[in-house]
Homo-oligomer: A and B are copies of this chain.
Amino acid sequence: MGEQKPGLEVCLSPALLHLYDVKNSIVVIIDVLRATSTICTVLYNGASRVIPVATVPECVSIGAQLGENAITAGERDGKIAEGLLHGNSPFEYPREFIQDKTLVLTTTNGTKLLHMAKDAIAIITGSFPNISAVCDYLVAQGKPVILGCAAWKDRVNMEDTLFAGAVVNRIKDHFTVDCDSAVAAEALYITSKDNIHEVMKQASHYKRLAKFGLEKDIRYCLTPDGANVLPIYRNGELVAAE
């Protein structure tokens, strides 16, 4: 008889997080379109850190305190929020622009979930561009894991569920999966992975973003390992793990 493997669970919406044992788990914050895809991208491109904040005024205020080394970013309803300088697209942050800078980023769904998970053993962010870094870390830690989907205003969404399913599919042999959301997310991923862009065209968020001409963003956010670093949350900021 081997040791009991740690649990691997999927939480499909922040409104369900209270049902999970956050305190004794590593929580992966998943906000594929586009917060967590952009976070790993800016860290991959050399940003010193990302400070996630809940509101636009908080973003403005922290940006002002930090001075010229800080970039304030965030969108509301698909546009750069008033008072901020940049948006949520990973393509806004090439190395020559973001290296050694601090990104102060306000997003609604992802930031909310991150703050809800603050008592976890550890918090990291995940999305397709850094899926391998996420999976390697989770397997190496060997602790219980909650894959936390940021969802959309608490409604379950396709892209975060697909990513959670992709992670389950990759690392399940190292864990005990006794969670129907995890089994369902994996099944969804398996059946979608060979035509993930077509599947995503049925998703509500795809329709919202495509309206703004962001197909290129969507494609990048659904492609594995374009920015394969591991963002870890410590003392209010996300930094790339060594």
Residues of A within 8 A of B (CB): 12-13, 15-16, 19, 152-158, 161, 177-181, 183-184, 187-188, 190-192, 199, 202-205, 207
Cα–Cα, bound, A16→B179 (Å): 18
Q: Is there an interface contact between A19 and B155, defined as CB atoms closer than 8 Å?
A: yes
**Given A16-B13, A204-B179, A184 and B155 touching (CB < 8 A)?**
no
**Given A178-B204, A179-B204, A184-B161, A16 and B192 touching (CB < 8 A)?**
no
B184, B199, B202, B203: the one within 8 Å of A188 (CB)? B184
The 8 closest A-B pairs by CB, nearest first: A191-B191, A158-B180, A156-B181, A157-B180, A183-B202, A187-B188, A184-B188, A180-B203
Extra pairs beyond A16-B154, A155-B179, A180-B203 (10, CB < 8 Å): A15-B15, A16-B156, A152-B180, A155-B181, A156-B181, A179-B204, A180-B205, A183-B203, A184-B188, A188-B188
22 CB-based A-B contacts, threshold 8 Å: A12-B12, A15-B16, A15-B19, A16-B154, A16-B155, A16-B156, A19-B154, A19-B155, A155-B180, A155-B181, A158-B184, A161-B180, A180-B203, A180-B205, A183-B199, A184-B184, A187-B187, A187-B191, A187-B192, A187-B199, A190-B191, A191-B191
Which B residues lie within 8 Å of A156 (CB)? Answer: 12, 16, 180-181, 184
Which B residues lie within 8 Å of A154 (CB)? Answer: 16, 19
Which B residues lie within 8 Å of A178 (CB)? Answer: 204, 207
Which B residues lie within 8 Å of A204 (CB)? Answer: 178-180
Cβ-closest chain B residue relative to A153: B19
Which B residues lie within 8 Å of A207 (CB)? Answer: 178
Cα–Cα, bound, A158→B179 (Å): 9
